[in-house]
Chains A and B, each alone.
Chain A
Amino acid sequence: MKSEDLLRAIGQMDEEYLARGETDRNSPKRIVWKVLLTAAIVASFVLTAVAAASTLWGKTRVAHDVSRLYMDGSMVETGEHSRLNFYVDLPVDEDAPNEIEQFYLPSILSTEDLTNGGIGADVKPGDPVSVMSMTWMPAQLGQYEFIHFRQMSGGDYQGDQPVESLDIFPITVKEVACHTEIVQWDGFEGVLFRLENWNEYYANTCYLFWTDSSYVYMLQYPPALEKARVREIVESIAPVEDIQPYLDTLTAHRKQTWQRFADAMPERLDYAFHAQADGGWLEDTKDTGLQVRLKLPLHSDAQERITNIIYPRYFDNEELFLQAYSWDEQGITSYTVACRMQEHELQFTQMGGLQYRNSGRVRELSVTDAQGMKSVRGERIVWGEDTFYQVSYAQTNTGKRGYRILYWTDGIYFYSLKCPCDMEDAEILKILESIR
Chain B
Amino acid sequence: MTDQQIIELFFARDERAIQETENKYGSYCYTVALNILGNQEDAQETVSDTWLRAWNAIPPARPVVLRMFLAKITRNQALELLRRQNAGIRGGGNVDAALEELKECIPGGESPEAALDEKELVNTIRAFLDTQTYRDQNIFIRRYFFLEDAADIARRYGLRKGTVLTVLSRVRQKLKAYLQKEGYAL
Contacts and interface: CB of A to CB of B under 8 A. Distances in A.
Given A2-B110, A13-B122, A238-B165, A18 B102 contact: no
Contacts of A11: 72, 75-76, 79, 145
B160 A187 contact: yes
Contacts, number: 153
A97 B133 contact: yes
Interface in B96-138: 98-106, 110-112, 114, 116, 118-119, 121-122, 125-126, 129, 133-135, 137-138
Interface size class of B (residues with CB under 8 A): 35 or more
Per DSSP, chain B at the interface is helix
B169 interface: yes
A8 B166 contact: no
B57 interface: no
A20 B134 contact: yes
Nearest to A119: B166
Interface size class of A (residues with CB under 8 A): 35 or more
Contacts of B162: 212, 235-238
Interface in A1-35: 1-26
Given A7-B144, A26-B135, A212-B160, A2 B122 contact: no
Contact of A2 (B68, B106, B161, B169): B106
Nearest to A26: B135
Contacts of B75: 11
Contact of A6 (B71, B102, B134, B158): B102
B39 interface: no
Which of A2, A8, A26 has the largest number of chain B CB atoms within 10 A?
A2
Given A9-B118, A13-B122, A1 B106 contact: yes
Contacts of A9: 118, 121-122, 125
A212 B69 contact: no
A5 B103 CA distance: 10
B24 interface: no
Interface of A: 1-26, 93, 95-97, 101, 103, 117, 119, 187-188, 212-215, 235-239, 241
Interface pairs A-B: 7 shortest CB-CB: A21-B141, A239-B169, A15-B68, A15-B65, A3-B102, A25-B158, A9-B121
26 contacts: A3-B105, A4-B89, A6-B105, A6-B125, A7-B102, A8-B118, A9-B122, A10-B125, A10-B145, A11-B75, A11-B79, A12-B118, A12-B119, A15-B69, A18-B72, A21-B138, A21-B142, A22-B68, A26-B157, A26-B158, A93-B133, A95-B133, A103-B170, A235-B160, A238-B165, A241-B104
